[in-house]
Amino acid sequence: MAEENHQKSALFSPLTLRGATFKNRIVISPMCTYSAEEGIADEWHLAHLGQFALGGAAAIFTEAAAVEPRGRITHGDLGIWSADHAAALKPVTSFLSRQGALPAIQIAHAGRKASMQRPWHGNGPMDAGDAARGEMPWDIVAPSAEPVKDGWLMPNELTVEEIQGIQEKFATAAGHAHDAGFEVLEIHSAHGYLAHSFLSPTSNQRNDAYGGDRAGRMRFSLAIAEKVRAVWPENKPLFVRISSVDSDGVTEGWQLDDSVALAGELKMRGVDVVDCSSSGISGTATAAQGKLPLGFRTAYSSRIGTEADITTMVVGLVLHAAQAEQIIGDRLADLVAIGREALFDPYWARHAAYELGADPRFGDWPMQYGWWLERREPLVRELRDG
Ligand SMILES: Cc1cc2nc3c(=O)[nH]c(=O)nc-3n(C[C@H](O)[C@H](O)[C@H](O)COP(=O)(O)O)c2cc1C
C-alpha cells in the first residue's frame, strides 16, 4: 500500500557514472567555510558535511580544498596537499558513505584570488585588521601580472616550469583525495581562480603555449584534467566546475561557445561531468547582489550538455523541489547542485522527496528519525488539514 503512494520523480531517479551511483540527482555544492587550521579538517567539517548526508543528498562536496598552501583563498581554507590532510578527512568520508551519500571533494588553486580575507572579515584583500589577528598576506600567482581589480594584490606571473609544477600538485592532491576515501572528485576551473584565470582572455595575457588563442588558454585546465584522470581511479567519476561565461550578461571575455568547446575537450580526457557555474573573473561569483532569475544557469547547462554531449550539473538559485524536478525532467541538466539553500535547510533533499511524493512515508530517512516521523504523520496531517 505504501509503495503505491510513491510518485515517480526524475529528481529522485538514480544516476550511475562509472562505478558510482548517485541515489538521486541532488548534490551539495562546494561551499567554503574557512574554518580549517593549516588546511586540516576537524569536527566542524564532519558536523557541517555530515548534516547534508543525513539530509539525503546523493553526493556531498567538500569546500574547495587547496592543492598547495599558496592556493588557499584564506587562512581558513581546507587543504589536500599532504597525507595528513587526507587522514583528517577520513572521518568525513566514512560518515558520508555510511549514510549512503557519495563523499566528493573539490580540489582547487585560488591563483590571483588567493590571500584574501574571510568573507565576514571583508571579502577583499587582507588589511590591517587581518594583521592584528595574526593573519598576514602571502605571495600569489597567476598567468599574468594582472590583479583582480585595482587595490587587490599583484600576482607574480608563473613560469612554464611553475605552471607544470602546479599541474602535478593537482594530480598529487587527487591521490590524497583517493586515500582519504572520496568517491567523486571535482577540479575547480571556475569563479576567477587559477584555472579560470588561464581560460579568460581578460586575465591571461600570455603569448606562450599557455596563452594566446583559446587552445592555448585551455591548455592549463586540460593538462590538469589529464594528469588527474591518470591517477584518479578508473571507477571514480571526475567533474570539472567551469564558469560557463566570465560574467553573466556580458558579451566580453570567455563565452558560452568557449565553454562548449572546453567541455568537448574535457570529455575526450575522461571528464564525466561539467559542473556549470558562471562569473567571478573580476570579483565575487556568489556574493554579488544583482537580480538573477531562478535557476538562471540552466541555459548554460542545457547547451553545454547537448552540444558537447556530456553529463552536466547546474548550480545557482535552485530553490524549490518542483523547480529541480523540472530541471531534471526536462533534461536541462543531469544533476542539480544546491548551495545556500542547503545552508538554510540541510534536509532540503528529504523535504523535496516528501513534497514530490517520492518518499511520502519517510522510508529513506535515517531510521532513527523516519520511524518516528512516519507515526507522527497522520496526526500532523489531521492538524494541518483540519
Ligand atoms: C559560503 C559559500 C562558499 C562557497 N565556496 C565555494 C567553493 O569552495 N567552491 C565553489 O566552486 N563554489 C563555492 N561557492 C559557490 C557555490 O558552490 C554555489 O555555486 C553558489 O552558492 C550558487 O549556488 P546557490 O544559489 O545554490 O547558493 C560558495 C558559495 C557559498 C555561499
Per-residue DSSP letters for 263-318? HHHHHHTT--EEEEE---TTS-SSS------TTTTHHHHHHHHHHHT-EEEEES--
Which triple of cell numbers denotes residue 324? 529541480
Per-residue confidence (pLDDT) for residue 292, from 0 to 100 = 83
Residue ranges of the chain with pLDDT lower than 50? 1-4
Looking at ligand 1, which residue's alpha carbon is closest to its atom 23? 316
Is the beta carbon of 317 within 6 A of some atom in ligand 1? yes
Compute the C-alpha angle 9/15/21, nearest 5°.
125
Residue 1 has a pLDDT of 38
Q: Tell me, using a 6 A CB cutoff, whether residue 106 lines ligand 1.
A: yes
Ligand 1 mean position, distance from CA 315 (Å):
9
CA dihedral (291, 293, 294, 299) in degrees, to 10, reads -130
Residue 65 CB: number of other CB atoms within 10 A?
Answer: 32
Give the residue extent of every domain in the chain.
3-361
- The pLDDT assigned to 26 comes to 98
Q: What is the best residue among 31, 116, 117, 327 to mutate for testing ligand 1's pocket, by most ligand atoms within 8 Å of CB? A: 31
CA distances (Å), 174 to each of 224, 270, 283, 301, 345, in order? Answer: 10, 15, 28, 25, 30
Residues serving a catalytic function are 193
What's the gap in Å between 305 CA and the centre of ligand 1?
21
The reply to whether ligand 1 has any atom less than 6 angstroms from the CB of 315 is yes
Q: Which fold has domain 3-361?
A: TIM Barrel (3.20.20)
In the block, cell 591563483 appears at 111
Short-list 108, 273, 122, CA closest to 196: 108
Atom number in ligand 1 closest to CA 340? 27
Report which protein residue has its CA nearest ligand 1's atom 4: 31
| Distance from Cα 241 to the centre of ligand 1, integer Å | 11
Q: Which residues contact 105 (CB under 8 A, 6 or more apart)?
A: 61, 62, 65, 80, 89, 177, 180, 182, 184, 185, 186
What confidence score (pLDDT) does residue 289 get? Answer: 62
236 lines ligand 1 (CB under 6 A): no
Alpha-carbon span 197 to 190, nearest angstrom:
8
Query: Is the CB of residue 63 below 6 angstroms from any atom belonging to ligand 1?
Result: yes
DSSP per-residue codes, 363-382: TTS-HHHHHHHHHHHHHHHH
Strand, coil or helix: what is 49? helix
Does ligand 1 lie within 6 Å of residue 241's CB atom?
yes
